[in-house]
Each structure stands twice: as C-alpha cells, then as structure tokens.
C-alpha cells in the first residue's frame, strides 16, 4: 500500500506538534497537521487517515485542568467521529497533553455513556513542573502496537500534571504499556525516576486492542541520536530510543 497517513491535531497552546510530525515522517509516514477547528468544521476528514495523534503542550493553557478543555471540545463536537475512528480499527496516539486529553475525554480507558472516568492524570507529587530525562520499561504482557519489540527507552518528560491515579480496577496489567524505571530497569524506583508519583510507576497505558496508546513522556523528542543529552560524551547513535514507537505504528498500518 501507499504511505501510512497520519493526522496530527493541534489547538491553542499545543507545542509538540512539529516534533510529532517529524517523528512520523522519519518513520516513513505521510503526515498532515490540522487545527482542531478544521476537524470540527469538517474541513479535514478524519477518516482519510489511519493514525490520529494528539501531541503534547498546554492546550488552551491547561485551564481547569491539563487537557480538559480540548477533551471536552473533542468529546462534545467530535465525539461520534472519534469513537467511530477507534471502532473502525485505526490507531490513536496521545502524548503528554494528548494522553491527558484521551483520559479526560473517556477514550482511554473507554468510558461508556453515562459513566465518568475512573482514572485521571493529576498534579505531580513534587508540587512542581518536572522536566527531566527518564527511563521507561516496556510491559512485555501488553498488546500495545506502538511498543512491540521494545524493552526500554530513555526519553524526556515535561509536565506539571502527570501523576496517573484513580481506580486501578478500570485497567488490567496488560493495559499498562510502559513503566517508569531506574537505569537498571527497576519498576519500584521512586522519585525522580518516577517524576510525578504515578501509582505502580505507570507512564503510559493502552486499550485492550493495543491500538490506543497514551503516555506522559515524549518519545518524539528522542528520534535522532544527537537528541540524547549526553551524545557528545557517549557517542551518538543514528536514531533515538523513541523512533520505534512511530515505526511500529507505520509498520502496523502497512500490514493491514
């Protein structure tokens, strides 16, 4: 088939859309960047794409709570299309603010009509904005398409409300796609390895199909070897640890 088609949506305050576009282009996809209003006005057809991406940033200034305004906007004005997109078997990726949007819109984990989300992303335990590089371990029991074949990665975080919390009965162990770890892969490592205090060191989750994936760290910020903070000391690899996430998505689309 032709190149996988990816739609990256932006809103006022989004600031990682360019990096998300670059990451998918490096993975071999054809990428369109569109404002959320273009989707709402149906100027951009979501169903022309196989992958939908909500990137990081501070959409609408994170008023009320991080990602809440954009989540409500998508849910109220675009909710049926979003659910159909998911039910059609396509891929959805939410990074940082995008993860917050997916959770607070009830897309991940899926919230049925009349129910309220049972998990959330809330203020960091440290009480401050955390901007640092972290180690992630991949849950080998997870069906997550984006992390297939991966064991770990080293990527940055940049958030003030990244603590995963709530009723963990809403998810199962296989829904946990990535954990915060230390450099040795220890999942019980505390702060600052777990930068926000997330329960069970959860850094990202997926749905039961593995097609919807949300995570707080930024794999799109480590696509090239020279983006590693110590590349001059350790030597630069050709590609960064985050690239396989995007390659896996593109590979999966090409295989359907």
- Of 134, 136, 139, 137, nearest to 177 by C-alpha is 139
The answer to whether 196 and 163 have CB atoms below 8 angstroms apart is yes
H or E stretch including 82? Answer: helix 68-87
Residues with active-site annotation: 96, 218, 220
Residue 80 to residue 97: CA distance in whole angstroms: 21
The answer to whether 59 and 13 have CB atoms below 8 angstroms apart is yes
Strand-pairing partners, residue 134, are 155
CB atoms within 10 A of CB 184: 9
Residue 170 to residue 155: CA distance in whole angstroms: 27
Q: Under DSSP, is residue 158 helix (H, G, I), strand (E, B) or coil?
A: strand
């Amino acid at each position: 088939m032709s190149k996988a088609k990816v739609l990256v949506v932006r809103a006022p305050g989004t600031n990682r859309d360019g990096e998300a576009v670059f990451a998918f282009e490096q993975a071999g996809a054809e990428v369109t960047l569109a404002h959320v209003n273009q989707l709402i006005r149906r100027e951009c057809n979501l169903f022309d794409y196989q992958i939908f991406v909500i990137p990081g940033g501070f959409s609408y200034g994170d008023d009320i709570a991080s990602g809440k305004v954009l989540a409500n906007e998508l849910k109220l004005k675009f909710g049926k299309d979003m659910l159909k997109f998911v039910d059609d078997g396509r891929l959805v990726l939410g990074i940082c603010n995008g993860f917050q949007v997916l959770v607070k819109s009830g897309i991940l984990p899926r919230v049925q009509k009349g129910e309220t989300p049972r998990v959330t992303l809330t203020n960091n335990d440290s009480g401050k904005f955390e901007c640092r590089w972290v180690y992630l371990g991949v849950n080998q029991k997870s069906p997550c398409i984006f992390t297939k074949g991966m064991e770990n990665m080293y990527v940055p975080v940049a958030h003030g409300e990244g603590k995963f919390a709530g009723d963990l009965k809403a998810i199962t162990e296989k829904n946990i796609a990535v954990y915060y770890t230390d450099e040795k892969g220890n999942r019980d490592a505390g702060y600052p390895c777990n930068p926000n205090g997330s329960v069970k060191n959860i850094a990202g989750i997926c749905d039961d199909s593995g097609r919807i994936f949300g995570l707080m760290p930024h794999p799109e910020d480590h696509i090239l070897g020279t983006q590693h903070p110590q590349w001059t000391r350790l030597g630069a690899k050709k590609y960064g640890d985050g690239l396989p996430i995007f390659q896996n998505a593109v590979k999966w689309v090409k295989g359907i």
